[in-house]
Structure formats: structure tokens, C-alpha cells
Structure 1
């Protein structure tokens, strides 16, 4: 590429950053002081990623100059540094605008470590990936299991409040505190709010033709099987048989049936079964299975509706009842089903009314709506100092499609790096090893990639101690190599939408160009 053309293209990017700095100032004034610089950098990153600059990257790479692909955390310094070098090659002297509040490479890394230390209550001077482990019910009676997990490398114990009850959770917490004292090592507590999780409550079918309708432990399905989604109070349950022998699926949240439309997809059991809505009638939805990767569907399995605009509260009555318990005992809250910035404000308002300023909040990105609104969620989240993002890859993969999950999880990592917000890498990490004692090659590769995050979450299983040891060894080896690789910067839809959303909040400032 001609040097003059490259200089002009970089000048255009640089000028765009300067022209929109008034909006960045407005954003910075609305966040916690700890995140002032980070919020400005995130806004600049959205400006950078809203355009396709791959041609510019190629030109910079040919000259051995930073191609902007690994500078998410220090956008202004990265762009201005590249522009200065190009101008020098063109025989021109140039200095960047020093009035811009910005940080460089080392400053961005220090900020991310600082924010991670604040959230995870650590004193690490360098990047050290935390390990979070989901507590099984056994932890209530087996203190030695918790001790073995802590020695193996677990630093954060996760309690999933979708399962169990307060009596069980208190027993687990008591054992955790006891292990902390014995080992003289901290174990921090993370609690997931249940959120409006959609599940199969019950399945009703006729075991044989002519027999009455009965609750079933499972039903067998194949491609073209038909099911009927019903509400818990459905009058169909009082009948002796189902319509045309179709099994009835009672859903945990009845309002989802009101939001469904014909032709929309319905997934069960983390995408194991895919169906489409055929008809809607009398508070029921008849669906037909299109893909079946298993033979049996059981009650308790999750339901995902990626095409449906759900009118559900992000904080359920159960969540609100649990919040006092969580703020009393947890170091971090997992906010399930967050979808937009208003959901962030809703939780913050509840925490403020409880007088809570210290509990960390981790926003779980587990559906396509949350991902699309991620920049706005991050800007609003920055009103508190202790924040993080969880890439909940299980539900997210079902929502956006398995073929896109790698792409989307990388985009989440980039946005959070730009904001210097810690990331929790979650769902099915070393899952086979935790359950069966032997990891697959793909799982080891996945664990290796997880070193890009500030925390990795493991689920429970009979071999969870061995899985924790393995993950710790993988992370220890990878942390020396964990500097994020150079990326090619095509335009991101999430960046364009993020700019549009944030600029709506600051109409009095300059419009983005």
C-alpha cells in the first residue's frame, strides 16, 4: 500500500477518535471513577471496530508496524503510535494530542489486573487466572472435598441458587469457612441468582393407547415427533387423555407461550432437540421436532427460544427474596438473564436499597439479546467498581448457533479487554474429565484457550478434583504465553449497535461520524 494512502487512512481513524471525545467525556462522567479511563477506551474501541480496517492492517504489517490487532486495551495510544511512525516514514514530524486521557500497553494491562484483583479480592501483581468450581451437594457433608479442591487450585466456590435450599447452602458455607481457617487460604464465594430460567416442569403422556394421561420420567422422541407446550394450570391436565395422543410439556414459565410465534425455534436440553412452532391455540403451542441428537427428553431440562422476544423480568420474585442472603454471604453475585442496560440498573437499585456497595456483580452473557447489547451493558455496569462478565457458553451457543460461538466468545473477550473488565470463561470446561475422569483432546485445547480469561469455571462431577488439578496445570503453563494474539479487525455489528445505543444517551454532544 502507498505510504501516503496509509497515512490518510490512519489520519481518518485518529480524527474520528478526537471528534468523538466529547461523547467519551460524557460517558466517563457517568461511571465509577475506577472505570473512567476504561469507559473512554471502550468507546474508542467501538469507534475503531465499527469500520473494516483490514486493508490498513495489511499495510502496517508489511512495514513491521503495529497493525492495531492486539491493542484493544489502549486504542488511542495504539492508533497514534502507528500514525506517528507512518508520518516519520513519509518524512514528517508529528505529535499526538496530549489532552486526550489515555493509557498505553502497560497501563492497560495494569488496569485489568487491578480490576480483577478488586473483583476477586486478590493481591496479584501480574495476571493470574482464577479457578471457580461449582459446589456439589456433597460439599455440605464432606469438608475434605472442599479442602482437596482448594489445594488443587480452586480459589472461588460457586453456589448455584437454582438448586437446593438455604439450609443446604449454609452447611456448604460453614465447611468452606472451616477449610479457609485450616489451610489459611482464602476461598471466595460466588452465588448465581436463578433468574427466569425456562425449564420443562413435567411431561404428561399416555404410556399406551387407551390408558389415562400420566406424568412421565421421560419420553422418546425422534425427528417429526410432535409435542404440545402447556401452562401449569392448563385444563388439558384434567382430561384423561391428550389431544391426538401428543405428549404435553408443562413449562416452568407460562408466559413464554404467550410470546411464541408460529415458525419460531424451540430448543430443549442445551440444543439436543430442536423444534419449530406449528400452531398456537388456547394457551398451548404445538411444536414438531426437526433435529434430535438423543432419544429421550426428561423433565427439568432447559428450554431456549432464540427467535422469541420474551417479556420476562430479569429479576424474578425468587431472585429478590434471595438477594439479602446473597449480599450477606457472597463476595460475588452472578446476574442471570441480563439483557440490557436497564436490567443492570434494576439490580443496582435493589442492591442500593439493601445498602450493599461491596458485593461484586458478574453479568452472565447467556443469550443473543445480551450479546447484542453488551457495550451498553458494560457502560452501565461501570457504575460499580467490582464487576465482571461471564461467557455462559452453553446457553449462548444454543441461542446464537454452535457455529458462531467461537466468534462471539472472542468478540466478548475483545470488548471486555477494551473496557478492562475481568472475564469468567464458563460452561463445559473439562466437563468430560470432571464426569468421567478422562479429558478429550478438544477439552484440553479449550482449557488452553480459556487462559485468555481472568477466571475459568468448572462444573461439578465425580472427578472434579482431578479436573481442577489439570486445569491449574494448563493455566500455569499457558499464563506465560497468554498475551492475546493479533486479530484482523473487520467491522463488528455489536460495535456499530453499541455506538448507536450509547450516543442516544448523549444527544447534547457531538454525533459520531
Structure 2
């Protein structure tokens, strides 16, 4: 299955898309990998979805990535005696450790870490920012606040803390149980961590996972931006989670932050996913708004590795149409005459390593000679990541002997992943590359390709050679 675009599509599965037939339709429409939201999926449902995705993968012959998205610490107020109360801006309202039902003056907050961490002057945003409070007094057991904006609060509404660094990790007991279940399947490629605040948040997950999955940090807290370079360094990928980020920060800042994070990840050679409300209106409508089309286009123009659908594909009325529309937008943007110059302007300088220099050279040679494709042999995935980081204007085929590597690379910009045996020698390496390029319809007899690999063959991370080859009439290399 050959895609006609470089950016990847991550589609969330849910009630509207959990059946195997629908998963197959989404894949055919353009979904390159699938997200399982552990906030809603039970362990049994997760395993069922994985089985169905792998069945679709087997029929399609294409590696499909799977992302398990951990819920993270969901902070909520308690319940009220009358379910909901009305408040007035300027009045005093208290959050405390008293488990009694709340009223118009106070409510139970079942999170001692918040009670001990909030400082005078910190903001507390309730129900996605519909109610804004400001702390005026704290003593470790209660937070006395002034109502800044909003007029009501009801049972179990979420709490956001844009000014407070919580002294807790990102993993709750539920997350640890979910992570254990994910790892036990040995069939999930990425785990997304919610509400990352600092690089230390990744340590426990990295220790538990032991490298069996890629770690994707979701950036949705202002605190994460203060140490973003360290977080990127310790992450395998990033997700710009614009929903909670737009609650905890002035919403007008989110587009600029999205660009900054995309460029920071491109410099570091780490995949970056842009998510939340990209085609939101397609939950209930068969076509998106013009503004949503522009939103997706901006992410593609910036060179994001992937764009994500949430409720559009999980619970919307038009999941297949949403994937098709996103694929169509991406394809159109990548054909735009301005696209190459915008992508080129954001290319990062290579690191001072032989492997980075080889990847740079392969891209420059391919573009200068107008070659049909760049072929990379990659066992660990590192060579594929380097090729993707260069953002070449020619196709990249990533050949790997490990299906796990091919699946994990399915999130990376421009990579067409193929599972194949390791080459036995240099001739086999070249012939195999030429044959696969022809079989996958990226080139034809007479076309030239460039191959990057490591010698000795099969040595992880040892990219140290390039080779230009002609595709012969039989699909093999022509001397």
C-alpha cells in the first residue's frame, strides 16, 4: 500500500471504529497507526483491538503502529449536595480535605498533592477553564480562593493548575496497571505519557518498559515548556496535546508553541505528533470547516511527522471520511509550490557524526540527481530516523529485518517501511533494495536509487556508506 504523502495519520479507535472491518477501512483510507485511549479502553478491549489491528496488518502487508495512551493523573473536585452550585465573581470559595458534599462555599478536593503544592496567587481552572479561581490562602489542608470568572461548578469537574508544579509523577496506580497490561501483550509500539511536567517524569516509565516500547511525551502542561529540551532528549517522540495545553495557557499562545515544539523536535530528530480538534466538526458533519483545513495544513507545512484524529475517528459519525479528508489535505499541501522551500528552511544542521553526515549526503545526492528513492537499511530504527529528519523531497524506503522496528517507524515523516531479511553481502543489499523499490512501485527499470547502510551489514547504528544503483529490467541492480 503506497501512500501519496509524507506526513503520517494517527487515528484513535473507539466505539465508532472498534470493529475489524472499520479498522481496515480506516487503514485503507490513510491511517498509518492507531491510538488506543486507555482512559476509556479496558484491558480486554485493548487486547481485542490489538488483535484486530494485527489481522488488518497481516492482510495489508504493511506494518501498522499501535500507540497506547495512558490516562495520567486526572484531577477532579468532589461532589455537591445538590449536584451543582451557582457562584459569583469576587466571592470566596474553598477547596479542602473535608469529604462532606460541597455547597456554594466549599467542595472536597481528593488530591492532597494539590492542597500541599498550590501557593498564594496560583490559578485553579475548573471544567476546562469555565470557572477560574485564584488562591488567596493555603495551609496544606485547604485552599481559599477568589472566584475570578465563571458562575457555576458541578460534581467531579476537572481541575487544571497552570501555575503549580505538582510533586507527583505522571503514573497513577491505574497507569501502572495499564502499562503492565500493555507491555504484557508485547505488541504495542508506543506508549504516550499524559501531563508530563519535567524530564524526571520519564524515568519510572523508562525503567518499567525497558525499551520494549517507544515513549511519547504529551506536552499539555506549561511547566513542561520550561525544560522542554531535556524532555525531548529523554523522549522517543513528542505529542503537542493542544486540548489541555489550551486550557492551562492563554489559548492564543498555542499556535506559536506548536511551531516551537515542531521545530525543536525536528532539530533533535525526534518524531512529533500534532493532536486535538484538528477536524472536530467532522464528529457530526461529513466535511470540515475551512479553519480546520487550514489548521491541518499548518501542521503539514511545518513538517510535523504525524497529525492525529481523536473523537473524529473514535466516536464520530464519519470516521472514514475524516481520515480520507486528512490524507487529502496532507497530499494537497505537499504538492503546493511553497511546501519544499518551507520544509527546507526548517532543516536542522546534522550532528558531527559519520551517520548524520551519510544521511545528509544521501539526501543531497538524491535531490541533486533526481533519484527515484532513498533506501535505508535499519535494524534499530536509528538510520530511518536520520533519513526522515532530513525531510528529502524523494521517497524514503526503510528496510528492516525487525517488524517491531518497522511498526515503530510508522509514525515518522516520509518513511515507507518494509520488513525484509538482512542482506547477506553488498550485492544482495543492492539487489534487494532495487527489487523492493520496484515491487513497492517507487521506481521502474532504468531509474536510479541511493542506498545507505552500515558495514559490517546488520550492525545497529553503524551507517557509514552510500551506494547509487540502477534498477535493471528484472528489478535487480543493473551494472
TM-score range, shorter chain: 0.5 to 0.7
Please give the alpha-carbon distance, in whole angstroms, between the structure 2 residues aligned to 1:167 and 1:183. 25
Whose strand fraction is larger, Structure 1's or Structure 2's?
Answer: 2
> Following the alignment from structure 1 to structure 2, what is the Cα–Cα distance between the partners of residues 248 and 336?
26
On the 8 A contact 1:435/1:464 being kept in 2, the answer is: no
Question: In structure 1, what is the equivalent of residue 292 of structure 2?
Answer: 443
> Cα–Cα, structure 1 residues 226 and 456, in superposed 2: closer, same or farther, change >3 Å?
farther
Separation in structure 2 between the aligned mates of residue 389 and residue 319 of structure 1, nearest angstrom: 19
Report 1:113-192 matches (<5 A): 128-140=6-18, 142-192=19-69
User: 1:136 Cα shift?
Assistant: 1.2
1:257-298 CA-partner distances (Å, limit 9, x unpaired): 221123211112333332222443672324343233xx7655
Match of 1:255 among 102, 113, 124: 113
Q: What's the Cα RMSD here?
A: 2.9
TM-score with structure 2 setting the length: 0.63
1:471 to 326, 341, 345: 326
Distance 2:272 2:324 in 1: 21
8 Å Cα contact 2:96/2:106 also seen in 1: no
The verdict on how the C-alpha distance between 1:436 and 1:255 changes in structure 2, with shifts beyond 3 A counting, is: farther
CA deviation profile, 1:406-457 (whole Å, cap 9, x unmatched) = 2211111121111121110011111122244442222111011121310111
TM superposition shift of 1:185: 4.3
In 2 relative to 1, CA 138–230 (structure 1 residues): closer, same or farther, beyond 3 Å?
farther
1:299-318 matches, within 5 Å, as: 299-318=155-174
Q: Which residue, 240, 243, 248 being the options, matches 1:391?
A: 240
In structure 2, C-alpha distance between the alignment counterparts of 1:457 and 1:434, rounded to whole Å:
14
Equivalent position SS for 1:137: coil
Aligned to 2:196: 338
Unaligned runs of 5+ in 1: 1-121, 208-215, 382-386, 489-513
For 1:106-505, list aligned pairs within 5 A.
128-140=6-18, 142-200=19-77, 202-205=78-81, 207=82, 216=83, 218-219=84-85, 223-224=89-90, 227-231=93-97, 234-237=98-101, 242=102, 245-246=104-105, 248=107, 250-251=109-110, 253-280=111-138, 283-292=141-150, 297-327=153-183, 328-352=186-210, 357-381=211-235, 387-451=236-300, 452-460=303-311, 461-481=316-336, 482-483=339-340, 484=342
Structure 1 moving runs of 4+ over 6 Å: 485-488
Question: For this pair of structures, how many residues does the alignment match?
Answer: 335
TM-superposed CA distance for 1:301, in Å, is 4.1
Provide the TM-score with structure 1 as the length reference: 0.59
Kindly provide the CA deviation profile for residues 457-485 of structure 1, in whole angstroms up to 9, marking residues without a partner as x.
Answer: 11122223222111110001112344436
1:319 to partner: Cα distance: 2.4
Give 2:353's aligned residue: none
Shift of 1:370: 1.1
Answer whether contact 1:139 1:175 (CA < 8 A) is retained: no
Q: Which stretch shows the higher mean deviation, 299-308 or 411-420?
A: 299-308
Structure 2 alignment gaps of length 5 or more: 347-479
The equivalent residue for 2:352 is: none
**For 2:163 and 2:29, how far apart are their aligned partners in 1?**
42
Q: Which has the bigger relative contact order, CA under 8 A and spacing at least 6?
A: 1
SS at match of 1:439: coil
Task: Tell me the alpha carbon deviations over residues 235-277 of structure 1, each in whole angstroms, 9 at most, x when there is no partner.
Answer: 434xxxx56x4352544x3321221123211112333332222
